[in-house]
């Protein structure tokens, strides 16, 4: 009780500082605004229940993102996603032109399989290094670099190619 007010103040500051980033991360994971909203709320509720376990109050983002990833996995009724370091056999992304609309971009990024999309989001939205992504996904740094390379290659090819309606294959 004595500590409640300072912990609550700290918690509220963290909510205001990181909710937007977490929401966008959740949105790109789920591509569902209602689910993203729910995931972020539950993430912070769990964080508050375990507030004394926050090890780095100056940088709570990695902790929050871990909770959110677990929540997302729980939503899919699995403890962890089934990651494979093998490349997708034939990744097919719709080609869009240089002036793609937000909707087209959403479809393009959303069409990446989760095993490529998640490290890409952690890096571009979360600002994680390859080593940090590897730690978060419990895999090797080399495997993360391969996934990121494949994700960007597929996205860039779809963006750079003229929009002819055909699909690019990631080889």
Partner 1 sequence: MSQENISASCLEFRRACLADPRHVSAEALAHADQCALCRAWRQRADRAEQQLTQALSAVPLPEGLNERILLRARDAAPWYAGRWQAFALAASLLITCTLGVALWHQRPVAAGDLALAAVRHVSDEGLERFTHRSEPPERFGAVLASFGGHLQAPLGKISYIHLCPVEGFGQGWHIVYLTPAGKLTLLLIPAREGAATVRTVQVEGRSVKVERAGAGYYALIADNPHTLEEAALNLKQRVRWGS
User: By the criterion CB under 8 A, which residues form the site for partner 1?
Assistant: 1-4, 7, 11-12, 15-16, 19-20, 23-24, 27-28, 33, 37, 40-42, 44-53, 98, 100, 102, 105-106, 109, 121, 123-125, 129-130, 145-146, 148-149, 152-153, 155-157, 159-161
Angstrom CA distances, 130 to 57, 88, 138, 149, stand at 23, 20, 12, 11
With respect to partner 1, which residue has the nearer C-beta, 20 or 78? 20
Nearer to partner 1, 8 or 80 (CB): 8
Q: How far is the CB of 24 from partner 1 (least distance, A)?
A: 5
In the complex, the smallest distance separating the C-beta of residue 167 from partner 1, rounded to whole angstroms, is: 15
The full length of the chain comes to 171
Nearer to partner 1, 80 or 97 (CB): 97
Pick between residue 49 and residue 79 the one whose CB is nearest to partner 1: 49
DSSP letter (8 states) at residue 85: -
| Least gap, CB of 102 to partner 1 (angstroms) | 5
Q: Which helix (H) or strand (E) holds 169?
A: strand 167-170
Q: Which is nearer to partner 1, 80 or 129 (CB)?
A: 129
CB of 79 vs partner 1, minimal distance in Å: 22
Longest Cα pair distance anywhere in the chain, in angstroms? 65
Q: How far is the CB of 75 from partner 1 (least distance, A)?
A: 16
């Amino acid at each position: 009780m004595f500590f409640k007010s300072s912990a609550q103040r700290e918690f509220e500051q963290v909510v205001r500082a990181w909710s937007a980033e977490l929401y966008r991360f959740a949105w790109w994971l789920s591509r569902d605004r209602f689910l993203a909203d729910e995931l972020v709320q539950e993430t912070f509720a769990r964080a508050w229940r375990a507030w004394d376990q926050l090890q780095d109050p100056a940088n709570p983002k990695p902790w929050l993102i871990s909770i959110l990833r677990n929540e997302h996995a729980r939503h899919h009724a699995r403890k962890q996603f089934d990651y494979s370091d093998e490349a997708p056999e034939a990744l097919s992304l719709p080609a869009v032109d240089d002036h793609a609309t937000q909707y087209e971009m959403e479809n393009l990024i959303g069409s990446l399989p989760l095993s490529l999309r998640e490290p890409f989001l952690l890096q571009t939205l979360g600002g994680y290094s390859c080593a940090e992504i590897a730690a978060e996904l419990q895999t090797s740094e080399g495997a993360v670099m391969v996934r990121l390379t494949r994700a960007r290659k597929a996205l860039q090819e779809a963006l750079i190619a003229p929009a002819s309606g055909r699909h690019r294959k990631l080889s």
